[in-house]
Amino acid sequence: MASLVFCNASTSYKLHSVDTKPFDLLVVDDADKLKECEAVIPLQLRGLRNAILSGDECQLSATLKSRISRVARFGRSLFERLVSFGHANHLLNVQYRMHPSISQFPNSIFYRKKILDAPDVTRKAYEKIYLTGQCFGPYSFINVPWGEEELDNVGYRRNLVEVALVLRLLESLFKAWSASKKKLSIGVIAPYASQVLAIRDRLGQKYNNNAHFEVKVNVIDAFRGGEEDIVIISTVRSNRAGSIGFLSSLHWTNVALTRARHCLWILGNEQTLLASNSIWEALVLDAKDRQCFFHADDDTDMRKTILDVKKELDQLDDLLNGDNILFKEQRWKVVFSDNFRKSFRKLASSCLRKYVLTLLVKLASGWRPKRRNVELVCESSSQVVKQFKVVEGRYVVCTVEIQKEFFYTQVLKVWDLLPLEEVAGFLRRLDRIYLMYTDEFISLCKEKYFEGDLEVPKSWKVHRDVVQYKKDVESKLNHDSTSTLDNNGYVENSRVSESLLLMKFYSLSSGVVTHLLSDHHGEEVDIPFEVTNEEREVIRFSKSSFILGRSGTGKTTVLTMKLFQKEQQHHSSVQGFNVAAGKEVSQFAGETRISSYEDNEASRCIGETSRTTLRQLFVTVSPKLCYAVKKQVSQLQRFACGGS
């Protein structure tokens, strides 16, 4: 006669007080998830002869909420300890769950390729196609670089762009499932509870009444030991630093990657994961090698979803990229200047920002207004500049330029977003840039080609180099570089020159500079261009400073003005000392005759003070920018001394 008793580890303590015959065999399943203290309870049963422990030390161990307990490794299982001691074990080396495309990476990384795929999972019939499109095969990494990880009210992370994409995938799966009604289970795994809650909140009870269409959304711990037909992983993290937190856990990653039977789709930011120096870097590279790497905007539905959620969240700054999803399928490549990005961010109205983007998409498609003249002419270069009215008296100013890729191709360069009264002044500054361009380059920029009513970019084969800068300008920008359009140093120089001419410096008359450097009455000197209150405080802050700012936010302007501020203070102090010292000597001479030695010493002190030199050091990574700053400051110093 045989008897079987089933219980969990903690309740097996009751067997110690039951009068039964000794057990011949103890079987502990998922032994890798039992803390050692829990495993000891059944192992101490009286008369126990044999024990079998089954588990996987490469997957999640027992859950511990106490940090101190985790540090002390209180969650380590007896199973893991025995494996670490090299105890004899038996490996079950055939997996019956995952499609081979899914099992390949975890088998290679976690199990040293010791696991074999069962015949059933290798059959063609095991490969299921739930959605059309290359990115919806058995195994896919879908790159989502437009998401922004954010903290909710309690400090947990979420990524609302990935939330929207998960909902879109579920909606598409439900629509496809409705035609067959075959049983389908879907698991959505996220590393953070906040992401899980965000998905659940937006999902609501939508699929609860469909017994054959089952959706589970949870953190990885809830999926231990489980399996689903389709698993969607939302990695959440999206940052430039490559910080991914506990997502880098090998145990967490292993469990997440091994829950799917037929399809595993991973949503993540490629650049963040590649920079993480973790298992996820290897996963992304592996997906690329196996041609399982896709971009979310390659799929029409996902691209629309991303655009909709970015507009809903008012995260439109991320769309100011000519290679971004907003312009990906347009005829014209769009290049944005830092000036335009800065002006765009200053727009207070979300509706206005959307209107500007709508106009830019229309321009990128080839649309041009018919009934009004939008062309302006820079005086010196005769380069045609276009202005397009948005709303509220603002205009988008853009030009056509040439870029070299596989061909020389016309691109749309968006320079700025300005009120009408500022356009003329901007054109004068822009003209200084085009004065440096060759006639051939400008001629190619001005060529036009139409397909029906649409203006489309022209392209030329690369049979020779197109020179953009005139020789004398190029030699000044970079003495040791060639002047061809595809030279890396050349591209850097052109960027530096544009930023210098358009945003780094402002034209100041000698009178303004003299006023700026000579006011020594203790009054605040008005800075002769528009700065924010924060920038003004930084300029006038007298101690050491640590200034953070993205490109185009005026860092160089602030630093240059700090040099001017120091010049002003030094100039004022020297003049003040000379006046005070002169008066003191005169008064002293009126009271008592000064000896020849004292007279000479006083004169020497005044002379040394007048010859005091202010020494300032300006350091930057670009030699071109350094030279330009030096030239600008030198010119200001000449103005201050009465030069021209």
d(CA 440, CA 466) in angstroms, rounded, equals 8
Q: Which has the closest alpha carbon to 383: 447, 431, 429?
A: 431
pLDDT in tens, 140-179: 999 998 888 998 887 789 999 999 999 999 999 999 999 8
Shared-domain flag, residues 116 and 81: no
Q: Which has the closest alpha carbon to 318: 148, 167, 551?
A: 148
47 neighbors 23 (Cβ within 8 angstroms): yes
Residue 295, SS3 per DSSP: strand
Q: Does residue 488 form part of some domain?
A: no
Residue 175: beta bridge partners? none
CATH number of the domain residue 375 falls in:
3.30.2310.20
Range of the domain at 356: 331-460
Shared-domain flag, residues 169 and 278: yes
What are the backbone angles phi and psi of residue 334, rounded to the nearest 5°? -110, 130
**DSSP labels for 88-151?**
------EE-SS-HHHHHHHHHHHSTT-PEEPHHHHSGGG----SSSGGGSSEEEEE-TT--EEE
Q: Does residue 7 form part of some domain?
A: no
Shared-domain flag, residues 125 and 247: yes
Q: Does residue 49 form part of some domain?
A: yes
Residue 187: beta bridge partners? 216, 231
CA terminus-to-terminus distance, the chain: 112
Shared-domain flag, residues 299 and 400: no
Tokens 């502990």 belong to: 28
Cα angle 144, 145, 148 (rounded to 5 degrees) comes to 100
pLDDT in tens, 171-206: 999 999 998 889 999 999 999 999 999 999 999 988
Residue 371's pLDDT is what?
A: 64
Query: Tell me, what DSSP letter sits at residue 465?
Result: P
CB-based burial, 438-468: b 16+ in 10 Å, e otherwise: beebbebbeeeeeeeeebebbeeeeeeebbb
Out of 423, 440, 460, pick the residue that ends a domain: 460
Residue 268's pLDDT is what?
A: 96
Query: Tell me, what DSSP letter sits at residue 620?
Result: -
Shared-domain flag, residues 69 and 197: no
Dihedral sign computed on CA atoms, order 606, 607, 610, 616:
negative
Q: In this structure, how many other beta carbons lie within 10 angstroms of the beta carbon of residue 163?
A: 26
Shared-domain flag, residues 142 and 240: yes
Out of 70, 90, 110, pick the residue that ends a domain: 90
CB-based burial, 287-306: b 16+ in 10 Å, e otherwise: beeeebbbbbbebeebbebb
- The CA distances from residue 407 to 329, 414, 464, 597, in Å, are 18, 21, 11, 80
Shared-domain flag, residues 77 and 201: no
Q: Does residue 284 form part of some domain?
A: yes
Shared-domain flag, residues 255 and 397: no
Q: Does residue 221 form part of some domain?
A: yes
Query: Tell me, what DSSP letter sits at residue 593?
Result: P
Tell me how many domains the chain contains: 4
**Crossing angle between the packed helical segments 623-640 and 555-591, to the nearest 10 degrees:** 30
Dihedral sign computed on CA atoms, order 289, 291, 296, 297:
positive
Which residue numbers in the chain have pLDDT < 70? 1-2, 321-323, 371-384, 472-536, 542, 545, 548-554, 564-565, 568, 574-612, 621-625, 632-644
Q: Does residue 138 form part of some domain?
A: yes
Shared-domain flag, residues 286 and 403: no
Query: Tell me, what DSSP letter sits at residue 595?
Result: P
Tokens 């010493």 belong to: 601
Shared-domain flag, residues 128 and 271: yes
Query: Tell me, what DSSP letter sits at residue 219?
Result: E
Shared-domain flag, residues 412 and 536: no
Residue 371: beta bridge partners? none
> H/E/C letters for each residue in 44-94?
CCCCCCEEEECCCCCCCCCCCCCHHHHHCCCCCEHHHHHHHCCCCCCCCCE
Residue 302's pLDDT is what?
A: 93
Residue 268: beta bridge partners? 143
Looking at this protein, which amino acid is placed at residue 263?
C
Out of 90, 110, 127, pick the residue that ends a domain: 90
Query: Tell me, what DSSP letter sits at residue 33?
Result: G
CATH number of the domain residue 33 falls in:
3.40.50.300
d(CA 416, CA 234) in angstroms, rounded, equals 37
Q: Does residue 197 form part of some domain?
A: yes
Q: Does residue 180 form part of some domain?
A: yes
Shared-domain flag, residues 637 and 521: yes
